[in-house]
Amino acid sequence: MRVVSACLLGKKCRYNGEHNLNLALVQSLEVSGEAYFDICPEVLAGLTVPRIPCEIVGGTGKEVLAGKAKVETADGQDLTDTFLKGAQDALRHCIEQGVEIAYLKARSPSCGYGEIYDGSFTRRIRKGNGIFAELLAQQGIKIIPL
């Protein structure tokens, strides 16, 4: 079983109300015949679409999980608890479904894998994972960032 960031399948769930449709991924999934489902940890947590942009401030998803960093909106609102809830609920769905591979939206504070925005809201990048990606990695689930 595979999980896919919902925005990559064309669902308008990004912070700006748009999507990141990845046609090559959609076609690959159709050809492979592998079972998959989509998920957006942020929407799962109850965040609205559209919403104010958010970034991890003071670290990465690993530090958020350890209580050493937080997720903030561009105007300074702390949404750490909301992001944690969404990531944990999404992980629970993945475990229940037996997910082995995750296709995740790059650089997201939830789904980013390998690199995320640095919390300055200037599009600068730092090494590290978003919260959901970090939880999946800790479970040994293979992650493919797109």
**pTM score of the predicted model:** 0.97
pLDDT of the chain along its 146 residues, tens only? 999 999 999 999 999 999 999 999 999 999 999 999 999 999 999 999 999 999 999 999 999 999 999 999 999 999 999 999 999 999 999 999 999 999 999 999 999 999 999 999 999 999 999 999 999 999 999 999 99
Q: Rounded to whole angstroms, how far apart are CA atoms 124 and 59? A: 13
State phi, psi for 107 to the nearest 5 degrees: 70, 0
The β-bridge partners of 145 are: 104
Cβ neighbours of residue 84 closer than 8 Å, sequence gap 6 or more: 64, 65, 131
The distance in angstroms from the start CA to the end CA of the chain is 18
